[in-house]
Amino acid sequence: MNKTEAKKRIEELREKTEYYAKKYYDDDKPEISDFEYDMLMVELRNLEKEYPEFISKDSLTQKVGGHVKEGFQKVTHEVPLQSLQDVFSFEEVEEFDERIRKQAEENGIKEVNYVVETKIDGLSAALEYKQGKFVRGATRGNGLIGEDVTENLKTVKTIPMELTDKIDITVRGEVFISKQDFEKMNQEREENEEELFANARNAAAGSLRQLDSKITAKRPLDIYIFNVQKIEGKTFNSHFEELEYLSKLGFNVNPVRIPCKTIQEAEQAIEKIGEDRENLTFGIDGAVIKVDDLHFREILGSTIKVPRWAVAYKYPPEKKETILKDIICQVGRTGVITPMAILEPVKVAGSTISKTTLHNEDFIKEKDLKIGDTVVIQKAGDVIPEIVEVVKNKRTGNEKDFEMPKVCPVCGAPTVREEGEAAVRCTGIECPAKLFRNLVHFVSREAMDIFGLGENIIQQLLDNKLIKNIADIYTLKFEDIASLKKNGKKFAQNLVDAIERSKQNDLSKLITALGIRHVGVKASRMLAKKYKTMDNLMNASFEELSMIDDIGPIVANSIREFFLEEQTIDLINKLKTAGVNMNSLEEESEDNRFEGKTFVLTGSLEEFTRNEASEIIERLGGKTSGTVSKKTDYVLAGEDAGSKLTKAQNLGVTVISEAEFKEMLER
């Protein structure tokens, strides 16, 4: 490679590493594996070493990745939170040892000891204590300036608010989420159709860097402390001694810390950690070798980016071949059907893998997977097993193509994949797999509004087999409900009354409760107003529905298909039998003062909910919209109005307060 080619490649690598580092550190949404990123950095570092004239202070080889997120106060670290030099072989570990021993010899130091620790896969943070009390916490950021996340760190149960000694100290640790908690979080997110976290590190980072500490408090964050950054009134000779003292202070110290007298012992410790890494409760992305003598560390010093007294050994991802025996489908609580690979059991990174998710139809096509294929498996971030690729030269011709099911494997209802979506869904409203979520939605405030019938009670009713479908809500007996709680008679009576009251709801509430895809509160009110009865709506044609303002062909098709479903017809008949109202109760208003006017609501109102205000506007002939445009007539702005208010002001749209809205109603 000549100089021109080298310069071009260096520029390409800098652009790529900056982009991937931003996705990893700032957005907490990595796009490539740690190993792939590391290999790009190795190539960049080697090229810069060979062509030093092209080294730039802006290169990630010369600085720590990460920036301060908007919304956080900046914190300047008194002692920089540096990164570590990565090594990928024992040959490089031994080169590190040679450099250290050469420096030791030059400075008259006869003995060099090391400490090997696990490199925890999380987000680095500094904790500051005054007189033994926790006063401030910050993320690493770019190493020099981080984000003040004190309130968020206070929600981490393993961070002591007060130490056993009244001392001024700043320590460094790694905030992480355990493997078990991470798997549980992703399972819940999958059931709720939320985007899955890519790995435990990014889940921890995203959780700690929330602007609302209440969200952080709900996440299972933990921390291990691994370094003293600064301490007043005490001195230590060795790093290992420091760590022991931190434990006595009450810190949750990195549990894997192995003292080593030689580099050979250090290599053995690295191998042992590698063998045991699957048994660790937390994820790691390597092992760290540190010089133990703190005085010698000061002599060795640091570069701008990394200390010279430590390196991080990065384990390569372990890959194994196995057979894709079958692909089965699982139905989540929201009806999303997820294909699952059934594998010939194979041991990868210390655990036996016999199945893994295939995400969706597109993933299977992208990987060109067939039942019977030989596939390569690896564990992403040492936690989640994944299929990396197909070994196509091992195909025999007996492999079978896979197709997503046309009917739900649980209830037999047709499945649908809508344009622009990757997910295939079950359409059955009575599908047992979806029942819990459907029940929660059916009784919610914006739907049938059955106060007292919360998620816990619904789960108990299902567990005790007191309800098997939505309509069973209306056959619940007083004694059944009372049996769910100690001294539950008053609760039972209140719930029976709430269920009975819900039968008299307007048709629009029932339409909302059915959970028709793409049909929310606003569309439900519109449909109830136009069709007057459930029967009329059920018999409406696609053409007729698609001509309604704000409905269109996609929503019209969704409504039509929903009411053609046998499960839907069965549920409606059961609800009719139970005495649930099927008619619009809204009287035709002669007052059309808002006819032809479009309102956008933003912020919080004092005397109305947004739904109530929308109902009033639509009853008086107006329309409501979720977006501000030049066609908007009024923006009704309450407290804490955000970007919609700003956009309205920029476009010159009339902005009215709640008081002005009330005046418009009183005229």
Residue 416: strand pairing partners: 425
- What distance in Å separates the CA atoms of residue 246 and residue 150, rounded to the nearest whole number? 20
Does residue 119 carry a catalytic annotation? yes
- What distance in Å separates the CA atoms of residue 654 and residue 34, rounded to the nearest whole number? 51
Fill in the DSSP letter of residue 26.
I
- What distance in Å separates the CA atoms of residue 559 and residue 517, rounded to the nearest whole number? 8
Burial code (b: 16+ CB inside 10 Å, e: under 16) for 504-531 equals ebbbbbbbbbbbbbebebbbbbbbbbbb
CB hemisphere CA count around 376 (13 angstroms): 12
Reading phi first (left if > 0) and then psi (alpha if -120 to 50, else beta), residue 261 is in alpha
Three-state SS letters, 146-207: EEECHHHHCCCCCCCCECCCCCCEEEEEEEECCHHHHHHHHHHHHHCCCCCCCCHHHHHHHH
- What distance in Å separates the CA atoms of residue 137 and residue 263, rounded to the nearest whole number? 35
Written as six digits, the tokens of 503 are: 């039968």
Q: Which residue has the tokens 């908690």?
A: 181
* 634-637 and 654-656 beta bridge pairing: parallel
* 222-231 and 319-331 beta bridge pairing: unpaired
- What distance in Å separates the CA atoms of residue 574 and residue 576, rounded to the nearest whole number? 5
Q: How many C-beta atoms lie closer than 10 Å to residue 393's C-beta?
A: 6
Cα 630 versus chain centre, distance? 36
Q: How many C-beta atoms lie closer than 10 Å to residue 650's C-beta?
A: 9
494 φ, ψ (degrees, to nearest 5): -60, -40
Helix 200-208 to helix 179-191 angle, to the nearest 10 degrees?
A: 80
Q: Which of 3, 63, 119, 503 is catalytic?
A: 119
- What distance in Å separates the CA atoms of residue 230 and residue 81, rounded to the nearest whole number? 11
CA distances from 277 to 9, 12, 85, 92, 199 (A): 36, 35, 21, 21, 16
Helix 521-531 to helix 610-619 angle, to the nearest 10 degrees?
A: 30
Written as six digits, the tokens of 588 are: 């035709």
* 598-602 and 634-637 beta bridge pairing: parallel
Written as six digits, the tokens of 225 are: 């402390």
136 φ, ψ (degrees, to nearest 5): -160, 145
| Beta strand spans in 540-612 (E) | 598-602
Written as six digits, the tokens of 586 are: 């809204």
* Closest C-alpha among 480, 475, 436 to residue 459: 436
Q: How many residues does the chain have?
A: 667
H/E run at residue 169: strand 169-176
Catalytic residue numbers, as ranges: 119
